[in-house]
């Protein structure tokens, strides 16, 4: 999470003021871990390489799936990525984080492979996403009159829901995973990098060659789709009761 | 909706705009003036407060979603390649 990010539990209107003390941000911790891991990798420690693979392989596969025709090809792309990482480790100059570098290699390879297999791309990957589109369904807002632009159908509070409760429900987890898997590639890429992998906004922009404005438009559209999936799941739960 | 007449801070920005900026706001990527407008709006609009909290929960939950743990299709080949390349590099460094 970004250092300036506002946590979910924080009240917007009654924020508690606490004394400021310097703390390591999450990105500082990640950066320190990477320095240690990189040193171990350069010493040829096999366990360090296994650790690097374990850390990022799943997210690499998920992202590669958005660029290429099927799972088998995605696995090939990621396998090629790891081989390129091994070959390039000696030349890696830490101008970006190790993670950004690895994901950058994968994106490059996946795009290259995707271009060659253009005709076979899954439909969800081909859906074009216009960054000027509204993230939230416009019909949920008043379209005319005094309250134009204000909620006509406001979201209902998820009163007793906590992240733990949502994660404990297999149905909710499936609904969220399904929403993520069916995101168009451009939205899935930002959600996986930023929210799943926790990559800094600047590094995501660097990786995907997009502006920060584009990043937040896409990220919000992706989060909104997952939010809708949770909303639909909870509405279903209420109608059962 | 929690708007009340005589609260100009809310009308400075619409709910639709707040919803549009929610992720950038939560991640601290909005300009100071925009941040002030959104924060002021949230103090008086229950719908937007709910919406922003839900987006924050989604952001936090997505990072914790259990996923199938994937493993490389040919881990042995990767380990072999790693050992071979690193052996060569270390040898070069020593020379």
Nearest by CB to residue A86, choosing from B1, B23, B85, is B85
Considering only the beta carbons, identify the residue of A82, A149, A226 that sits closest to B17: A149
Q: Which stretch of DSSP H or E encloses residue A60?
A: helix A46-65
CATH code of A211's domain: 1.10.10.10
Hey, are the CB atoms on B78 and A82 less than 8 Å from each other? Answer: yes
Give yes or no for residue B81 having a pLDDT over 70: yes
Query: Cβ contacts (< 8 Å) between A7 and chain B: which residues?
Result: 56, 60
pLDDT in tens, B69-80: 778 888 889 999
Do A98 and A164 belong to one domain? Answer: no
- Same domain for A31 and A88, yes or no, is yes
Residue of chain A whose alpha carbon sits nearest to that of B40 = A13
- Mean pLDDT across the stretch A162-178? 92
Residue A77 lies in a domain: yes
pLDDT for position A130 = 54
| Per-residue pLDDT, A197 | 86
Distance CA A89, CA A172 (A): 40
Which has more confidence, B62 or A161? B62
Residue A3 falls within a domain, yes or no? no
pLDDT digits (tens, 9 = 90+) for A76-87: 999 999 999 999
Residue A30 sits in the same domain as residue A100: yes
Would you state the pLDDT for residue A25?
Answer: 67
The reported pLDDT for the residue numbered A22 is 53
pLDDT of residue A3: 45
Residues of B in contact with A76 (CB under 8 A): 73
- Candidates A52, A56, A99, A109; CA nearest to A204 is A99
Q: Average pLDDT, whole number, for chain A?
A: 83
Residue A82 lies in a domain: yes
Q: What is the pLDDT of residues B18-28, one digit of tens each?
A: 999 999 999 99
The B residues from 54 to 83 touching A (CB cutoff 8 Å) are: 54-75, 77-79, 81-83
The reply to whether A166 and A98 lie within a common domain is no
Q: State the nearest Cα–Cα gap between A8 and chain B, in angstroms.
A: 5
Domain CATH number, residue A30: 1.10.1740.10
Q: Mark whether A136 and A101 lie in a shared domain.
A: no
Identify whether residues A112 and A137 lie together within a single domain: no
B20 touches chain A (CB under 8 A): yes
C-alpha–C-alpha distance, residues A125 and A146, integer Å: 40
Q: Measured between CB atoms, does B6 come within 8 Å of chain A?
A: no
A44 plus A117 within the same structural domain: yes
For residue A208, tell me if it sits in a domain.
yes
Residue A241 banded pLDDT, cuts 50, 70, 90: low
**A7·B46 Cβ contact <8 A:** no
Structural domain includes residue A60? yes
Cβ pair A158:B57 closer than 8 A: yes
What pLDDT, in 10s, does the model give residues A178-227? 999 899 989 999 999 999 888 889 889 988 999 999 999 999 999 999 99
My answer on whether A99 and A185 are in the same domain is no
Structural domain count of chain A: 2
Residue B86: per-residue pLDDT: 79
Within 8 A of B89 by CB-CB distance, chain A residues are 42, 44, 89-90
Inside any domain, residue A232 = yes
Rounded alpha-carbon distances, angstroms, from residue A106 to A56, A60, B92: 11, 7, 28
The phi and psi torsions of A151 (rounded to 5 degrees) equal -55, 130
Give the domain range for residue A45.
26-123
| Range A10-28 average pLDDT | 50
Percent of chain B past pLDDT 70, that is, above it, reads 84
Rounded CA-CA distance B88/B95 in Å is 11
A160 found inside a domain: yes
Greater confidence, A236 or A120? A236
Q: Tell whether A206 is covered by a domain.
A: yes
> Is the minimum CB–CB distance between A131 and chain B shorter than 8 Å?
no
Residues of B in contact with A167 (CB under 8 A): 61, 64-66
Nearest-CB residue to A163 (from B57, B66, B83): B57
Residues forming a β-bridge with A151: A141
Q: Does B38 touch chain A (CB under 8 A)?
A: no
- Is A107 found in the same domain as A137? no
């Amino acid at each position: 999470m970004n250092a300036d990010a506002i946590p979910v539990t924080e009240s917007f209107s009654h924020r508690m003021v606490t004394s400021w003390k310097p703390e390591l941000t999450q990105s500082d911790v990640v950066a320190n871990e990477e320095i240690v891991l990189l040193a171990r990798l350069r010493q040829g420690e096999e366990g360090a390489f296994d650790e690097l693979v374990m850390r990022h392989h799943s997210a690499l596969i998920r992202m590669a799936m958005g660029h290429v025709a099927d799972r088998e090809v995605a696995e090939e792309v990621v396998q090629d990525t790891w081989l390129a990482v091994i070959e390039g480790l000696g030349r890696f100059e830490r101008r970006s984080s190790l993670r950004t570098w690895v994901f950058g290699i994968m994106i490059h390879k996946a795009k290259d492979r995707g271009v060659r297999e253009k005709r076979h791309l899954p439909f969800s990957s081909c859906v074009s996403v216009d960054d000027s589109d509204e993230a939230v369904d416009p019909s949920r807002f008043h379209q005319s009159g005094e309250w134009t632009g204000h909620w006509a159908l406001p979201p209902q509070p998820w009163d007793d829901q906590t992240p733990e409760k949502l994660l404990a429900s297999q149905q909710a987890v499936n609904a969220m995973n399904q929403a993520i898997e069916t995101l168009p590639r451009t939205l899935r890429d930002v959600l996986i990098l930023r929210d799943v992998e926790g990559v800094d906004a600047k590094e995501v922009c660097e990786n995907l060659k997009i502006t920060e404005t584009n990043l937040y438009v896409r990220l919000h559209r992706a989060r909104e789709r997952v939010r809708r999936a949770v909303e639909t799941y909870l509405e279903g739960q209420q109608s059962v009761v | 909706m929690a708007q009340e007449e005589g609260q100009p801070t809310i009308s400075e920005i619409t709910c639709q705009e707040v919803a549009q900026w929610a992720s950038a706001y939560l991640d601290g990527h909005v300009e100071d003036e925009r941040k002030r407008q959104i924060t002021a709006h949230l103090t008086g609009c229950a719908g937007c407060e709910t919406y922003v909290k839900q987006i924050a929960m989604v952001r936090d939950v997505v990072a914790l979603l259990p996923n199938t743990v994937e493993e490389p299709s040919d881990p042995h080949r990767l380990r072999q390649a790693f050992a071979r390349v690193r052996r060569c590099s270390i040898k070069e460094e020593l020379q």
